[in-house]
A and B are shown apart, each in its own frame.
Chain A
Amino acid sequence: KQEVTQIPAALSVPEGENLVLNCSFTDSAIYNLQWFRQDPGKGLTSLLLIQSSQREQTSGRLNASLDKSSGRSTLYIAASQPGDSATYLCAVGETSGSRLTFGEGTQLTVNP
């Protein structure tokens, strides 16, 4: 059974810092990995999708990497802003169109 772990559970940083969120998964036979953002009480906003054949994806200040063989992914946020404050969730899909298995999330606070 796939298990997804995210470290740290919570992170508080001053504005402007670069930061890294970590995600690990137990079964490396994944189809893709996705990072989401969730604001309090809200739904999920997709940030980045990495297919199993890819090593990284970038969108603006966000960069996500994938090391499938070691079962790890990182989300790098450059020049953090208070508007980045949210919970970041990592999820893996094991086949095309399959259900996702989620990590517990990292709650990020960026202080002005």
Chain B
Amino acid sequence: SAVISQKPSRDICQRGTSLTIQCQVDSQVTMMFWYRQQPGQSLTLIATANQGSEATYESGFVIDKFPISRPNLTFSTLTVSNMSPEDSSIYLCSVGRTGPKGYTFGSGTRLTVV
């Protein structure tokens, strides 16, 4: 199974600023996924990121708010822009390849906006 390094693990940010989250995979993968988990809730998909093309966003998420980069097959970033307290969540990346233990997730970024 792929191993994903996600950083930062947590951050406290001022409203109106932006934070970029990075995910590095130890092998090449075609698709990467970005999820959000709001406090006390389950995971919701933000977007799917394929290398070499624009990310595909789910309903309710827009590129201006959550720009995604996918410069190569092992790396992706998610930026949370112009943050408000409602953006306080755990953000997780995942790869779109199933190993023997299933999908692999990064360790998550716990974001608090004050």
Contacts and interface: CB of A to CB of B under 8 A. Distances in A.
A71 interface: no
Contact of A43 (B33, B41, B92, B101): B92
A16 B107 CA distance: 29
Q: How large is the interface on A (under 10, 10 to 19, 20 to 34, 35 or more residues)?
A: 20 to 34
Contacts, number: 63
Contact of A102 (B42, B97, B98, B106): B42
B106 A49 contact: no
A11 B102 CA distance: 25
B33 A46 contact: no
A34 B42 contact: no
B30 interface: yes
Contacts of A21: none
Contacts of A102: 42-44
B48 interface: yes
Contacts of A42: 107-108
Contacts of B110: 41
Interface in B80-114: 90, 92, 94, 96-98, 100-108, 110
A100 interface: yes
A97 B43 contact: no
Given A46-B104, A97-B97, 16 more contacts: A34-B103, A41-B90, A41-B110, A44-B105, A46-B1, A46-B101, A46-B102, A89-B43, A91-B43, A93-B103, A99-B45, A99-B48, A100-B103, A102-B42, A102-B44, A104-B41
